[in-house]
Amino acid sequence: MMDVLMNDSGSDVVPEDSSSEEEDLIQPKFNNNGSSYWDCSRDSDCHISSSDSENYNDEDYQPPKFSLSARPPLSRGRPCRRAPLPPPPQPLPTEKISPEQSQPSKKRRLSVSADETTEEDGERWNSREEEDQKPDPLSFTPARSPGPRFNRSASWCPLSLFQLYFSKSVVQTIIDNTNANAARRITAGKKFLWTTMTLKDFYIFMAIIVFSGLVHVHHRGDYWKRQWPYNFPFPREKMSWNRFEAILWSLHLSNPKDDEDNDRKKNTAGYDRLFKIKPLYTDITTACKAHFQPYQNICMNERMVAPKAQISTKQHMRSKPAKWGYKLFVLADATTGYTWNFSVYTGKLDKSQLGLSYTSVVDLLPFSVLGEGYTLYVDNFYASPALFRDLHEKHIGCCGTIRKSCAGFPHTNSNDFPQKPERGDIRWMRKDCLLFVKWVDTREVTVCSTVHEAFSGKTVQRRVAEGEVWSSKEVPVPDAVMEHNKNMGGVDLSDAFNGYYSSHHKATKWYKTFFYHFMDIAVMNSFLLYEELSRYKFDPSAKEYTQKTFRETLAAEMLCFAEGLAPQPPPASSSTLTCMPRYYGSDATASRRYCRRCQDAGIQRVKTPIYCRKCNVSLCLTSKKNCFERWHDTR
């Protein structure tokens, strides 16, 4: 049979053109030498024309196998010239096949598509030895000059700095609302001793709160005990316990009448969950941004405020000292730890498709006030390729740890880590402006950045066990990981400072807990501003202030202010004082400070012994570089 078929010169093997809709399922195959052929044995429309009549329905019949040279398929409707074709088979009574269903099987199509995408995109993890191209540095152009935003040449005391946040208008608003709340309670039949609270009462009240952060007792009433080991002269000599408790009980930050109007809006879109803290909340955030401009590196993280009250918006974060409470999103200066902006999370009210991690970052970045060229450091809750790309378009650099499950993270295994990677192994991949880095320390760390190169040769010391001996070893580390660990400490430092000397007595009302926290932010930022002023003045004889010393002085000045003995606000700089260069000391080499103009231009570690006597700003003044003149020309 094979000989007859192969030697039949009047026969030819052709695929029969059919009108059946299943003809698109015929797929070309490839033989061992790479040429294509049509597998006729799998298609009912593919026949072998022969002069011999054969019964193809015979169970013992084996169809012949041969390779045919590649030839274009016959066009639709083309008649066979070699032999008459049998009548076309009738289509099976099945549903009409759509063009999508006529493609190869889904499993085969997806596997091929994934391979082709990997080859086309060229996604591949690069090793540590492969060189990366460092992105161009961002031009640092802040909207204002970084640092304190007030007259630095004046003499600022701790109280005057604190009053930048608790100004006269802010304090008077709290006093008016507290008196109104006390009057409302008396009208409602509450029986307690109350006299109208004055400015003196409120400053003594705040001094006691600052004092309670320095001296801890288990019960608040122990501060007024006369028995040993308590017997504190202060606060007993300045305010009675009953008066302090009456003020604390009636303390209110918003207008009580407006509270009632807001309570009627519950379960509606107009209800404001933060209405009872909104006046002080707005004033504090505005003051934080007004009196300081961050340096180039900023960072963002969460902070917990733990109220004693049971609230519906209570959050849980097991990594924080206070694991349950209100969550705050905090934007801080990475260099000083200054709290520059923050927002209170009130629940899942965001209807956008971008998610909470995206909107919480963008809402804390007022670009018109901040400027361009900043580098934002975040953790894996906020980091995402979508956020980093959008901020990159706004000329804001980003760096942060990122989750592998995040949308946009590369999932290729090409040149990935071996099964047991060594400590210090690095894999990186660059996609447009994004750099993805994987690093092995005690565990695998994944980082995404838009401002760093993959690896520049930096190392860190780690204790490594070799057998039974522990020794120090230099471990390679990516630049993004090192800079992230360095700059994320700003917001952690701010959290730590607030926790050291904050009041440990929880209030039963949630808005009173926020009053304590807002006071801590104001005191902490005042202390950081005081440090900045000391650094600019560079007075070797000046007393070094720790946070403990600063709080002690602040409490004492609050008491003096209440008695009318506080120092007056800092006087304005004299108009007769002109801008002239001065030396910090007789030794120009030892007494040097960083040039202010060079810092603003992003040039780090340029020191000068010269400063302006009126502006009190360090500026370069040499024959080759005159930052003194250029800085004053721009003012």
User: What residue ranges do the domains of the chain occupy?
Assistant: 1-103, 380-484, 581-633
DSSP codes, 188-209: TT---------HHHHHHHHHHH
Q: Quick one: 142 exposed, middle or buried, by C-beta within 10 A (0-12, 13-18, 19+)?
A: middle
Q: pLDDT category, 465, cuts 50, 70, 90?
A: confident
Per-residue pLDDT tens digits for 545-565: 889 999 999 999 999 999 886
Token pair of 454, please? 């993959």
Count of other CB atoms within 10 angstroms of residue 104? 10
Per-residue pLDDT tens digits for 328-361: 999 999 999 999 999 998 876 655 677 888 999 9
Please report how the helices 168-187 and 256-263 are oriented relative to each other, as an axis angle in degrees rounded to 10: 70
- Give the number of residues written for the chain: 635
Residue 177, pLDDT > 70, answer yes
CA distance linking residue 79 with residue 69, whole number of Å: 21
Residue 312, pLDDT > 70, answer no
Token pair 């007022």 in the structure block, residue: 366
Please report how the helices 489-500 and 510-537 are oriented relative to each other, as an axis angle in degrees rounded to 10: 110
Q: 196-202: list long-range contacts, CB under 8 Å, 24+ apart.
A: 197/247, 197/250, 199/171, 199/172, 199/175, 199/562, 200/562, 200/563, 201/239, 201/243, 201/247, 201/562, 202/171, 202/174, 202/175, 202/247
Token pair 């409707």 in the structure block, residue: 77
Number of H helices, E strands in the chain: 18, 24
Of residues 503 and 357, the one with the higher pLDDT is 357
pLDDT value of residue 84: 52
Instruction: Look at strands 469-476 and 459-466 and give their pairing.
Output: antiparallel
DSSP codes, 501-547: SS-----SSHHHHHHHHHHHHHHHHHHHHHHHHHHHHT-TTSPPPPH
CA distance linking residue 513 with residue 251, whole number of Å: 11
Q: pLDDT category, 185, cuts 50, 70, 90?
A: very high
Q: Is the peptide bond before 91 cis (omega within 30 degrees of 0)?
A: no
Token pair of 131, please? 């060189």
Token pair 């007789």 in the structure block, residue: 586
- What are φ and ψ of residue 318, in 5° steps? -70, -20
- Residue type at 96 in one-letter notation: K
Of residues 307 and 207, the one with the higher pLDDT is 207
Residue closest to 300 by CA, chosen among 333, 327, 323, 347: 333
Contacts of 150 (CB under 8 A, 6+ apart): 164, 291
CA distance linking residue 555 with residue 563, whole number of Å: 13
CA distance linking residue 361 with residue 120, whole number of Å: 34
Burial track 411-448 (b if 16+ CB lie within 10 A, e otherwise): eeeeeebeeeeeebbbbbbeeebbbbbbbbeeeebbbb
Residue 613, pLDDT > 60, answer yes
CA distance linking residue 463 with residue 470, whole number of Å: 6
Helix (H, G, I), strand (E, B) or coil at 626: strand
Q: pLDDT category, 192, cuts 50, 70, 90?
A: confident
Token pair 């005690």 in the structure block, residue: 442
| pTM metric for this prediction | 0.70
Q: How far is CA 597 from CA 81, 139, 581, 600, 622, in A?
A: 90, 14, 15, 5, 14
Contacts of 66 (CB under 8 A, 6+ apart): 6, 13
CA distance linking residue 204 with residue 237, whole number of Å: 11
Residue closest to 570 by CA, chosen among 164, 156, 283: 156
Of residues 38 and 280, the one with the higher pLDDT is 280
Residue 29, pLDDT > 60, answer no
Per-residue pLDDT tens digits for 63-118: 544 444 444 444 444 444 444 555 555 554 444 444 444 444 444 333 333 333 34
Q: What one-character DSSP code corresponds to residue 149?
A: -
Token pair of 79, please? 């008649």
Q: pLDDT category, 25, cuts 50, 70, 90?
A: very low
Residue 523, pLDDT > 90, answer yes
Element (H, E) at 470: strand 469-476
pLDDT value of residue 30: 46
By the 8 A CB rule, do 29 and 36 touch? yes
Contacts of 595 (CB under 8 A, 6+ apart): 603, 606, 607, 608, 618, 619, 620, 627
By the 8 A CB rule, do 218 and 225 touch? no
Least confident of 189-198, 437-446, 485-494: 485-494
Residue 32, pLDDT > 50, answer no
Average pLDDT over residues 450-469: 89
pLDDT value of residue 566: 54
CA distance linking residue 396 with residue 485, whole number of Å: 19
